[in-house]
Structure 1
């Protein structure tokens, strides 16, 4: 049975589509957004694997077994920053190596499921069951009881999400067997190659690289260009300090912010913008979006310098006249405007509309037409009708405007298996500049 959130009424599968404001789930074929991905060094979790986190997982504790943290842990900062603004995050544990915590107690060997220092925070408490025959074996992770078993001997113990048990014979009674020897892995630049390869198998909106490694941004740009231009996956990436990318698929930051209780460094602000970009619907802009609880901008830019900075392709923070810290404008790094690609291509809201058209058209084409429909006038008219449904939905949610059926022209290509489509659209932007003259009477 299908389900999820709706933005427009065009779901294909039977099911319940319900909106919950706290967790913005995907909308529909039109405007289905909210998925981000980031590679992060972790102290718990499977290495070299893509780990799915929902925005609720950090709050309800389901993230503990996956990545070793909850919303209230300092180590969850980047995940928390991202998931403030989107509903799903694919985390990839980017560090490799390290050691699993372990402990031998009598005939019982206990080994942490994952390498990392968080394995050293696992404690096993064993005690007589109330039947005075069997043994209760309790697994604690960071003081939280995460598993409880009642067994007669070691061989009956089953591995859980945190530890593996080995051995035979009697379970030793112990007030607290604490695992030790767990160490974190290390991050190498070539680990990111494995991450990028892994993400080719996943559908997402925005990738974030919250690292100050200067070798990474150009590699990520090449990846995003290939995904957008060759693989047909209309994604964007957020990186640190790379406005020279000059590409609509790359967003670059160089500022951070402080709250009363924590600091988001400039390269960490990548995580925030990644969530914002993934979570923004196609009819929304992040222009003037408030940074909740922010009290100070790191690398503050004076208003006199902001014009040149945004012309240079930066995604920037500034202060509203009432003191709120906000996003200045929702921009990417594309600045080399031409008659073929004007300044609209530097506007992330417009890019989201273009990307929606690209992604949905590909889905319609591959799902309903390739190898199924005849390439004659009747078949092309059916294809045009499907495209029109999509464009009218975009107009209904005010992502585009002034659209009519005449703006879609579908003809046969040069060969009999080719279809040529020309579409003329006018993306809608948000109000940004006010010019007002007040006359005295």
Structure 2
């Protein structure tokens, strides 16, 4: 599906082409709260590609680390406000840690990486009852010092009666799978026709003897990290994942990844029609001048005394921005667990940063830290990009209208409704209802159905829509005349 902006009605691909200029519905999915992030160093664990994380995720199973480990510091900050972090864990190569006892078991870590070397597996047989055909063995998986999984397998003695009692067939292969390891016991290929004809099954004999004589604890080894290739593949994920904001939080400001993100965000917004926004660290005062991008100037100190640097603080703002609704501005939003901006900017430097289109954390009375103003990096204004476009609340509103219009047209009208006056009236009625709803939510104001017109475009399959909206901003400045009589 194509999209983006247009100058002439000469598009080839079916799609929605929207120009956003200053002055002149089915149930739809929302990307609200979804933040795309890029892992800046190998995790040494986890699936290749997107790892979806929420505040309640099992971080150890998914990433090989606790959520408070330094390697996940940006993710930890982001999830204080983001609903979901889509973490790109992209790498080449690497090896899984393993352990093997020939004919008894093969243990492979679930993922490649050094974190798999922290895994051990214990096999503890239960007492063997007199005359029993089977024996239970408890299989426990340990990551570091923490037990992460425990299961029980039933081993048969090497005869047909015992195999049946264990609920197995002669061809079954015993296996154990959990979030950390894949264990296979023996292999059915070891059962020869000659021995099977005698009712002897060395597969189960080997496993039984190998696991039930004594308790055993096995450590996995040989795991190695791959090479991080996030930068190489990030554009594919930027274009194909479902998110509201993408950020290069956590990366050193000298990395080229920030420039690449800025370029791709512009491409997605202008040429592809995907209205996502970007957030980058920007203590070095780079002039990006784009309404779809915010740069973070400084960091802060938490109430624990921990200093959150600019690359990590960028994740916090990105998470807040991803979760902010079109009727909400983040100006003066408080960071509940922060006590001081770091570094603190005086009045002149704060004004300088705001004029440069940067996000500034400010210390207020009572050891409070707030976002000074919810702005983006647009600083050069034109008739088609007025000053209003520098406010993130306004951009969220316009992005919401563009995205909803695109989704509605694609799911309910494109290829389904005739391009005649009746069909266009149906689409107009849908949009009027939607926009009236936005007005009732104080997202836009003074909307009148006459502000929306639909006509056939230059081609028979084209529809030209003209829409005028007045966005609503939040109160930010109070000027008072206090007169004493």
TM norm. shorter chain > 0.5:
yes
Q: Which moved more, 1:238-247 or 1:175-184?
A: 175-184
Q: Take 1:131 and 1:403, find their aligned partners in 2: how far apart are those partners?
A: 80
1:235 is the counterpart of 2:276: yes
* Counterpart in the other structure of 1:330: 374
Secondary structure, counterpart of 2:310 in structure 1:
coil
1:203 is the counterpart of 2:242: yes
Q: Take 1:192 and 1:128, find their aligned partners in 2: how far apart are those partners?
A: 49
* Counterpart in the other structure of 1:179: 220
Q: Take 1:315 and 1:256, find their aligned partners in 2: how far apart are those partners?
A: 10
Q: Take 1:395 and 1:129, find their aligned partners in 2: how far apart are those partners?
A: 69
1:193 is the counterpart of 2:224: no
Q: CA deviation at 1:400?
A: 0.9
Which 5+ residue runs of structure 1 have no aligned equivalent?
A: 1-10, 14-27
1:132-185, CA deviations, whole angstroms, 9 ceiling, x for partnerless residues?
Answer: 622111112243333223232895132322112245233444453222343333
Which of 79, 82, 106 aligns to 1:83? It is 79
Secondary structure, counterpart of 1:295 in structure 2:
strand
Q: Take 1:96 and 1:281, find their aligned partners in 2: how far apart are those partners?
A: 38
Q: Take 2:361 and 2:299, find their aligned partners in 1: how far apart are those partners?
A: 8
Distance 1:187 1:83, change over 3 A: same
Q: CA deviation at 1:74?
A: 4.4
Q: Is the contact made by 1:282 and 1:353 (CA closer than 8 Å) also made in structure 2?
A: yes
* Counterpart in the other structure of 2:132: none
Counting only pairs closer than 5 Å after superposition, residues 38-437 of structure 1 correspond to structure 2 as 38-40=37-39, 41-57=41-57, 61=58, 63-104=59-100, 107-129=104-126, 133-151=135-153, 152=155, 155-166=173-184, 168=186, 169-170=206-207, 171-172=210-211, 173-174=214-215, 176-188=217-229, 191-210=230-249, 211-212=251-252, 213-241=254-282, 243-259=286-302, 260-437=304-481
Q: Is the contact made by 1:317 and 1:326 (CA closer than 8 Å) also made in structure 2?
A: yes
Distance 1:94 1:254, change over 3 A: farther
1:295-352, CA deviations, whole angstroms, 9 ceiling, x for partnerless residues?
Answer: 3322322112211211111111111233311111111111111111011111111110
1:192-216, CA deviations, whole angstroms, 9 ceiling, x for partnerless residues?
Answer: 2313213422211001112114311
* Counterpart in the other structure of 1:36: 35
Q: Take 2:37 and 2:121, find their aligned partners in 1: how far apart are those partners?
A: 33
Q: Is the contact made by 1:254 and 1:299 (CA closer than 8 Å) also made in structure 2?
A: no
Q: Is the contact made by 2:394 and 2:471 (CA closer than 8 Å) also made in structure 1?
A: yes
Q: Is the contact made by 1:51 and 1:91 (CA closer than 8 Å) also made in structure 2?
A: yes
Q: Take 1:219 and 1:235, find their aligned partners in 2: how far apart are those partners?
A: 15
Q: Take 1:316 and 1:131, find their aligned partners in 2: how far apart are those partners?
A: 68
When normalised by structure 1's length, the TM-score is 0.86
Distance 1:45 1:117, change over 3 A: closer
Paired residue total: 410
Distance 1:130 1:313, change over 3 A: farther
Q: Take 1:130 and 1:72, find their aligned partners in 2: how far apart are those partners?
A: 41
Question: Relative contact order (alpha carbons < 8 A, sep ≥ 6): 1 or 2 greater?
Answer: 2
Distance 1:254 1:103, change over 3 A: farther
Q: Take 2:329 and 2:218, find their aligned partners in 1: how far apart are those partners?
A: 53
Structure of larger gyration radius: 2
Secondary structure, counterpart of 1:331 in structure 2:
coil
Q: Take 1:351 and 1:131, find their aligned partners in 2: how far apart are those partners?
A: 70
Q: Take 1:283 and 1:131, find their aligned partners in 2: how far apart are those partners?
A: 68
Runs of 4+ in 1 over 6 A off after TM superposition: none
Secondary structure, counterpart of 1:158 in structure 2:
strand
Q: Is the contact made by 2:344 and 2:363 (CA closer than 8 Å) also made in structure 1?
A: no
Secondary structure, counterpart of 1:182 in structure 2:
coil
Secondary structure, counterpart of 1:245 in structure 2:
coil
Q: Is the contact made by 1:239 and 1:270 (CA closer than 8 Å) also made in structure 2?
A: yes
Q: Is the contact made by 1:243 and 1:333 (CA closer than 8 Å) also made in structure 2?
A: no
Alpha-carbon RMSD = 2.4
Distance 1:51 1:429, change over 3 A: same
* Counterpart in the other structure of 1:16: none
When normalised by structure 2's length, the TM-score is 0.78
Distance 1:117 1:342, change over 3 A: same
